[in-house]
Structure 1
């Protein structure tokens, strides 16, 4: 296992915990953006695969998450979170100049990644969106309509078909196990509206991954957001039967192979074989 290095930066809302998986022989950089209520430590296996495939990986715990400062599981402004991530990207590029850079975002991290790509299109060479919260999230709309947000625990069986994933999630002390806070819901809604009104992704190579049985972030809701931002180089992969966390699914090896294959092609890291077939962009 490749050891990671921990660090910190001063973000827009206090100290931000960072983690880097170094690779002195890297031919590209990957930024990771995690989802709501979790932390980058849950992406250890993802980072390991990426490093073994030639990446150096940089990530952080968003404000209010994991080991970073802030009220638990509250993001006051997604624009500020994107700014924090951009600061991390600047540090990565300063440390490893002249390497192409990709951004991988899961769930809420997919929303952050999409907004990052809208704000800094010239600074990314590839984008991967895993079950991204885009377009609309009916759960947020419903919860905001209520006078009081209910304290309903997450059904961990919706994360993955692998029971061990839900068990580890429940036991993880850095994961937020409480209810949604109204300021968080309001910030999510503003961010969704901002991305929907923002620019398209142009010719940025983008891979959208989604579980066909995702109950937390239904694929049809996300599809409305993809329709707003999609550029000319969008690829879509849907995994039948897979639930929300495709990087933690029973077919995670297939999913991560798809990601590294996409990065190879998008970043020009390998020459395509004559027999290779491209995934056609889907409407």
Structure 2
């Protein structure tokens, strides 16, 4: 029996099942390619992420043992992408066998809604899991495995559920699709075309590279990638030598928001911290002011 050209794993996310992801898979491959799209249970996706990670890990382990010389292509939507990041983080020995990883609307930097529910990072149910910042492990994986991030934008900063900024991380390629909402991205025809193009050419999309300023801000304890909606209200806190600026404001809930703007005034980064970490943000701004 001849081995298939590759195995395709597609993973649904929170409050979902595998039907939409199966439709996406069928847009991408013929019947000669084995497709694995585990349905993890609608109710279970509201509880904790670890059992879901274990279920996907078990399935992947079985198939890798069955097809040890066959590459894997992996696609995850929303929390499905986070599940696969955790699986791959646990199994770096698999990385050389992964052809590519595609994350669709995955809140890699932590879902802002989840952080609002669990602002002190106490690990409150699935909110604690979805609010976790996985950018460091994602960047490490993307430094080895060709990785594409696909995001939607319906309101100038999010797909209606996940902020665009939260989907991006170092070493990955990035494509944003204006007008597409979170759920629509699961099996939209354009998404399938982009994935096929990426499978053919790993240079598809924009390279994600963060400068020192953004990296310093992302390293602030409690920092969560946010929406750009309050950018126009922010005041300049630091003017950088290259003409870029760091701007800050408080939102309607008194939460400290921070933005990095280009020399031409374009918002390059948006983030926020809860009340507990406001002093950490202030300290980071003082350090940046001194350094620059």
Q: Same fold per TM (> 0.5)?
A: yes
Match of 1:281 among 182, 186, 207: 207
Higher relative contact order at CA 8 Å, sep ≥6: structure 1 or structure 2? Answer: 1
The number of residue pairs the alignment matches comes to 197
Corresponding residue for 1:200?
Answer: 140
- Which segments of 5 or more consecutive residues in structure 2 lack a partner in the other structure? 210-292
Partner of 2:53: 82
1:209 aligned residue: 150
Is the Cα contact below 8 Å between 1:210 and 1:238 reproduced in 2?
yes
> Which of 91, 103, 110 does residue 136 from structure 1 map onto?
110
CA RMSD in angstroms comes to: 2.8
TM-aligned CA distance change 1:219 to 1:53, over 3 Å: farther
Cα distance change of structure 1 residues 89 and 253 upon mapping to structure 2, 3 Å threshold:
same
How far did 1:197 drift?
5.2
Give deviations 1:166-214, integer Å, cap 9, x for gaps.
xxxxxxxxxxxxxxx952223333xx24x24546222210010011220
Counterpart in the other structure of 2:198: 262
1:115 positional shift: 2.1
Match of 1:184 in 2: 126
Q: Structure 1's 221 and 112: CA in aligned 2 closer, same or farther, altered over 3 A? A: same
Question: Per-residue deviation at 1:220?
Answer: 1.9
With normalisation by structure 1, the TM-score equals: 0.61
Which of 84, 90, 95 is equivalent to 1:119? 90
Structure 1 contact 75–187 (Cα < 8 Å) conserved: no
Aligned to 1:28: 6
Per-residue CA deviations over 1:124-163 (Å, capped at 9, x if unaligned) read 33110000011122111222359xxxxxxxxxxxxxxxxx
SS class of match (2:54): helix
Match of 1:93 among 61, 64, 83: 64
TM-score (norm: length of structure 2):
0.59
Name the CA distance, whole Å, in 1 between partners of 2:201 and 2:90. Answer: 24
Distance 1:108 1:100, change over 3 A: same
Hey, what does 2:78 align to over in structure 1? Answer: 107
Q: 1:205 to 1:144 in 2, by over 3 A?
A: same
Q: Does 1:221 align with 2:159?
A: no
CA-CA distance at 1:113 after TM superposition: 1.9
1:178 match: none
- Of residues 177, 198, 201, the one that matches 1:239 is 177
CA contact (8 A) 2:110 2:130 kept: no
Please state whether the residue corresponding to 1:125 is helix, strand or coil.
Answer: strand
Matched residues in 2 for 1:248 and 1:82: separation? 20
Report if aligned partners of 2:105, 2:185 keep a CA contact under 8 Å in 1.
no
State the alpha-carbon separation in 1 of the partners of residues 204 and 129 from structure 2. 37
Q: 2:152–2:178: 8 Å Cα contact kept in structure 1?
A: yes
Distance in 1 (alpha carbons) for counterparts of 2:33 and 2:107: 26
